[in-house]
Each structure stands twice: as C-alpha cells, then as structure tokens.
Amino acid sequence: MERFWFLTFDGLAAGAVYAAFALALVLIWRAARVVNFAQGAMAVATAYVGYAVVSATGSYWLGLAAAILSGLALGALVERVLMRFAGPGGPLNQVIVALGLVLVIQAVLGMIFGNEYRPAPAPFDTDALTIAGVAALSPYDLWVLGAALTVVALLAVLFTRTPIGLRMRAAAFAPEVSRLLGVSVGRMLTLGWALAAAVGALAGMLVVPTGLGLHSHAMDLVFVIAFTAAVVGGLDSPVGAVVGGLLVGLILSYVTGYLGPDTTPLAVLVLLLAVLLVRPGGLFSAARARHV
C-alpha cells in the first residue's frame, strides 16, 4: 500500500508536467489545427537557454524566466517564418515541416552543446518527504505541481476573462468573421504559438531535472506521452489536456512501478490506441455531427 501511495504522488507530479505540455499542444491545435510535432525539440532548446543562464548567473529563477521568454520568441518565430507558409499545403505539410524543425533543432543543439547529457540541477530537494510513514512528494514535486497548475489557471483566466483571450478564441473559432470584426487573425495565431511555446518551455524546465539531464533528445518520449495525454483528453479541450495529463501520469507511474520502466513506451502505445479506437475525440469531446 505504501508503494501505491508513493506511485500515486509520483504519478501526479509527472502528470502535472504532461498536463502543461499537452496544454501547449492543445493551444496550437485550437488556434491553427496543427499538432506541433516540434514542441519537444523547441522545449529542449529553451531549456538549454535556461540552464545556460542558470550556470552564468547562478540563479534558477533568472534561468526559468530566460527559458520562458525564449520560448515566447521561438514560438512566434516558428509561426511567422515557417508554419504560416506551410499552412496552405495541408496538415501533412505542416507536420513534415515541424519534423524538419525537430531535426534542425536537435542537430544545432548537438553542434553547440555536444552530444553528452549535461547536468540539470533541480532548484529544490528531490528527496521525498515522509508523511505519516509514507514516502510522498518531494519539495521539487510540489514545485512542479504548483507551477503547472498555476500556468493552467493563468491560461484559463487569459482565455475566459480578458479581451485578448476572447479575440484569440474568436480568431481560432471563426477566422473570417473575426477578420471582418477587426481582429488581426494572423497576429492572434502568432500569439497563440508564442504562448504555447512558452508553456512548453516551462514544462521542459520542469521535466528535465527529473530525467537523465539535458540532452537534445531529452524530450522525445515526453512529447509522445504528452501527445497521448492531449489525445486522451481530446485535442480540442484544455480541461481535457489537464485531466488527460494527470491521468496518463498516474497510469504510467503505476505501470512503471509495478511492471518495470521498460514497459513505459508499450503502455503509452496501448493507451493511445485504446483511446483513439474507442473514443477518437478524447474523453472530453463534445458530440459532433458525423462526417461522411
């Protein structure tokens, strides 16, 4: 039973990161109908920037800010320079361009920083606290959970309570009408990508210390897991992304804990296929007219 509780807390902490990452995917999907396959590589790039700042200044918080800011810039850049021009060719083209971006980012990171894993120290203690004899969350897990949930709350406020959020939703929902009403749809799209990449950057900074360290491939599996989380919740639903992230985090934690770490990719695939075949729209999808 102790082990079960430990795995539960561990899964929730991991799930919070997946939730933030899945949320980044959902943000772009809602705005542009693209799954950003370069999200993982972009997050790693910003994490490298963040940890470069950390080692230069000695302050984790400056590094975190640098990572998020570079995420904003990178997201806007990718949308302005690449995705805007890949769009007309159809979704296949956008996915392929994003994959090309993955190759370029990983290669450039390898050229600048080398191919070895770099240490990425966590800002807090990663040893689990013991509560009533049960090893539960570590301070770092608490920070991850808090940061991820704060971002989710901030985004919810942004989209539902502010004029700019309303404009972004309008631009995504009905681009033509919004344009007529004076919303700059292109700018909203850029903003959407920038926000998503910033959320991805935060998720990257949170997840890297829990893994082997900083490496150009550090987010490969995390991306696949986050994609699964987004699909579980439904690519269209931000709430779904959060619930999906926590759910996937829990499931993977149990699977890894009881069956061994090597089974994780297998579990991810089974989960992904099961959701797609049983409920393709995700758990939180609204009923929708059937297309022929």
Partner 1 sequence: MTTTPTETAPATASPLRRLLPGAPAGRDPRGSTLLRHLAVAVFAGTLVVLVTNQLAPYQNLQVARVCAFLCVTAGHTVLVGLNGQLSLGHGALMATGAYTVALTQQALDERAVRGWWTLPASLLAGVAVTALGGLVVGLAAARLRGPYLAGVTLAVATLVPAVTTIFTGVFNGEQGLSFPAQTPPAALGAYFQPERWLAWIALAAALLTMLLLANLVRSRFGRSLVVVRDDEVAARLAGIPVARTQVLAFVVSAACAGLGGGVYAMLTATVAPGKFPLDLSLFLLMAIVIGGLGSLAGAVWGAVLLVALQDLPGLLTEHLSLSAGLAQRLEGNLALAVFGLVLIVVMLAAPGGLQGGVRALTARLRGAVRRRPATRRSPDR
What distance in Å separates the CA atoms of residue 213 and residue 122, rounded to the nearest whole number? Answer: 10
Shortest Å distance, C-beta 291 to partner 1 = 9
Identity of the residue, 52 or 183, whose beta carbon is nearer to partner 1 in the bound complex = 52
Q: Which is nearer to partner 1, 137 or 189 (CB)?
A: 189
Q: How far is the CB of 259 from partner 1 (least distance, A)?
A: 9
What residues from 124 to 153 belong to the interface with partner 1 (CB under 8 A)?
Answer: none
Tokens of 271: 């989960």
Q: Which is nearer to partner 1, 183 or 255 (CB)?
A: 255
Q: Is-contact 46 176, C-beta < 8 A?
A: no
Site for partner 1 in 193-232 (CB under 8 A): 217, 220-221, 224, 227-228, 231
x/- binding map, residues 231-270, to partner 1, per CB under 8 A? x---x------------------------x-xxxxx-xx-
Instruction: Rank residues 176 and 262 by Cβ distance to partner 1 and give the closer one.
Output: 262
Q: Pick the stretch among 92-100, 136-144, 181-189, 203-211 that binds partner 1 (CB under 8 A).
A: 92-100
Which one of the spans 89-97, 135-143, 180-188, 203-211 is the region binding partner 1 (CB under 8 A)? Answer: 89-97
Would residue 133 be called left, alpha or beta, if left means φ above 0 and alpha means ψ between -120 and 50 degrees? left
Q: Tell me which stretch binds partner 1 (CB under 8 A): 43-51, 104-112, 129-137, 201-209.
A: 104-112
Is there binding between residue 182 and partner 1 (CB under 8 A)?
Answer: no
Q: State the DSSP H helix or E strand holding residue 187, giving kind and residue range, or none if neither.
A: helix 185-207
Instruction: Choose the binding region for partner 1 from 124-132, 158-166, 195-203, 271-279 (rule: CB under 8 A).
Output: 271-279
Cβ atoms of 42 and 74 within 8 Å: the answer is yes
**Helices 163-173 and 2-32: angle between axes, nearest 10 degrees:** 70
**Binder to partner 1 among 57, 61, 65, 104 (CB under 8 A)?**
104
Single residue of 55, 57, 59, 115 touching partner 1 by CB under 8 A: 115
> How many Å apart are CA 159 and CA 152, to the nearest integer?
11
Under the criterion CB under 8 A, does residue 34 sit at the interface with partner 1? Answer: yes
Point out which span in 63-71, 112-120, 149-157, 169-177 binds partner 1 (CB under 8 A). 112-120
Q: Which residues form the interface with partner 1 (CB under 8 A)?
A: 29, 34-35, 37, 82, 85-86, 89, 91-93, 95-97, 99-104, 106-108, 110-112, 114-115, 217, 220-221, 224, 227-228, 231, 235, 260, 262-266, 268-269, 272-273, 276-277, 280, 292
